[in-house]
């Protein structure tokens, strides 16, 4: 084989590769031209600057109360009769990095969370590139404190959210399609009661009834005798039994709000001209209700997904204290009371991130449900 044949073969292979990659590029470009995909990409790109701005706001807000952890710790020691000198207080502030300005503290905080160098002491001890700092109140790394309750908090929040939507949406559809019926009035009364009764009052009542009927108040998510070396080992059935009261208490208020919102939207859609036209053309009532009316009526509820996630994650703190639930809310309250700023900042940051993720998912769901939301940048 001569040199010309070898060069010709190489050129053919290069042309084949160029054609192959060109075809892939054209396919990707065609895919990205789709309205829905471009909409999702834009929403994902907005995620990073949103989290960055939230981190700035969170860190500076938790700095607003006067004093710091050292001040709160000194006050606690003084109430027990121990006196801390000014020199000791300054040494403690320097040890925890509280002697620096707030912007300096923020820059170091966010920089260490994003990436901690391999040669740092934190990495050598914890083998992690993400340093969430030290929790003064709990005496250990912030992430170790957060990790203890983050998983169970997400699980409980997800279960309550599924309960809310699974119960409220069928009730709202029934109430809207049977307006002014006995069932509609019953569900409306239940909705007003669920909204009006404070969660902690309902929790106390249900705990009392549970004790009267079963001999146990079912307080907390775990039995104390099911803890080994700080790890919860529990029977899944016992966990679900203890979760009944929190689901009813926390889920009821949100459920009632969803029922009222979806019912009102459904009644508005059912009375529009397109439903009358569909009926006149012989379209089945179930298809009109579910395919057209419900799809338009669910938009406001889906758009509020991020807010619901936020309220479930931290808005149930008082209820969690009453029910002795081992979730993130009481932990955040304790961090705020002791001015443990790094722990409070980490919990609020994680909560804010989950809320932004919830809003992202709600935007994507809205884009699937309503084609009008998928704006195409003037292409049509």
What are the tens digits of pLDDT across the range 336-358? Answer: 888 788 888 888 888 888 888 88
pLDDT of 168 higher than 70: yes
pLDDT given for residue 328 in this prediction: 84
pTM: 0.74
* Contact (CB, 8 A) for 234 and 226: yes
Reported as a single tens digit per residue, the pLDDT across 85-100 is 778 778 877 766 777 8
Look at 41-45, 256-260, 368-372 and tell me which has the smallest mean pLDDT.
Answer: 368-372
Per-domain residue ranges of the chain:
65-96, 148-373
Look at 58-72, 116-130, 193-207, 231-245 and tell me which has the smallest mean pLDDT.
Answer: 231-245
Reported as a single tens digit per residue, the pLDDT across 301-318 is 887 776 676 666 665 777
**Where is pLDDT greater, at 38 or 270?**
270
In which residue are the tokens 């940048």 written? 377
CA distance linking residue 137 with residue 338, whole number of Å: 7
pLDDT of 334 higher than 50: yes
pLDDT of 377 higher than 50: no
Q: How far is CA 166 from the centre of its chain?
A: 18
> Token pair for residue 126?
């914890």
pLDDT given for residue 282 in this prediction: 87
CA distance linking residue 166 with residue 221, whole number of Å: 22
pLDDT given for residue 25 in this prediction: 61
pLDDT given for residue 228 in this prediction: 45
CA distance linking residue 171 with residue 140, whole number of Å: 47
Look at 8-17, 65-74, 258-267, 319-328 and tell me which has the smallest mean pLDDT.
Answer: 8-17
* Contact (CB, 8 A) for 342 and 142: yes
Helix (H/G/I), strand (E/B), else coil: 231:
strand
**Where is pLDDT greater, at 61 or 312?**
61
CA distance linking residue 136 with residue 140, whole number of Å: 7
Instruction: Assess if CATH 3.30.9.10 describes domain 148-373.
Output: no
């Amino acid at each position: 084989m001569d040199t010309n044949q070898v060069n010709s073969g190489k050129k053919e292979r290069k042309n084949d590769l160029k054609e192959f990659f060109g075809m892939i590029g054209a396919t990707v470009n065609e895919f990205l031209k789709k309205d829905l995909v471009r909409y999702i990409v834009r929403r994902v790109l907005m995620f990073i600057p949103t989290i960055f701005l939230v981190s700035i706001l969170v860190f500076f807000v938790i700095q607003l109360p006067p004093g710091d952890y050292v001040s709160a710790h000194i006050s606690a020691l003084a109430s027990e009769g121990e006196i801390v000198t000014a020199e000791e207080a300054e040494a403690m502030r320097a040890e925890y990095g509280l002697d620096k300005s707030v912007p300096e503290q923020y820059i170091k905080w966010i920089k260490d969370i994003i990436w901690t160098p391999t040669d740092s002491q934190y990495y050598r001890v914890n083998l992690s590139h993400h340093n969430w700092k030290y929790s003064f109140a709990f005496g250990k790394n912030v992430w170790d404190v957060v990790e203890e309750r983050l998983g169970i908090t997400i699980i409980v929040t997800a279960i309550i959210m599924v309960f809310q939507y699974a119960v409220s949406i069928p009730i709202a559809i029934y109430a809207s399609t049977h307006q002014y019926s006995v069932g509609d009035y019953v569900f409306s009364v239940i909705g007003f009661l669920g909204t009006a009764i404070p969660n902690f009052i309902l929790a106390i009542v249900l705990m009392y009834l549970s004790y009267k009927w079963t001999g146990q108040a079912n307080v907390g998510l775990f039995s104390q005798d099911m803890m080994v070396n700080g790890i919860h080992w529990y029977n899944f059935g016992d966990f679900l039994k203890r979760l009944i009261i929190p689901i009813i208490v926390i889920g009821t208020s949100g459920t009632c709000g969803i029922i009222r919102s979806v019912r009102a939207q459904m009644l508005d859609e059912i009375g529009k001209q397109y439903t009358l036209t569909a009926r006149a053309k012989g379209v089945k009532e179930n298809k009109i209700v579910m395919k057209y009316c419900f799809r338009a009526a669910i938009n406001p509820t889906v758009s509020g997904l991020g807010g619901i996630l936020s309220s479930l994650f931290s808005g149930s703190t008082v209820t969690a204290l009453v029910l002795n639930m081992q979730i993130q809310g009481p932990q955040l309250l304790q961090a705020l009371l002791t001015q443990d700023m790094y722990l409070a900042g980490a919990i609020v940051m994680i909560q804010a991130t989950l809320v932004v993720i919830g809003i992202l998912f709600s935007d994507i769901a809205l884009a699937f449900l309503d084609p009008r939301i998928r704006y195409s940048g003037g292409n049509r």
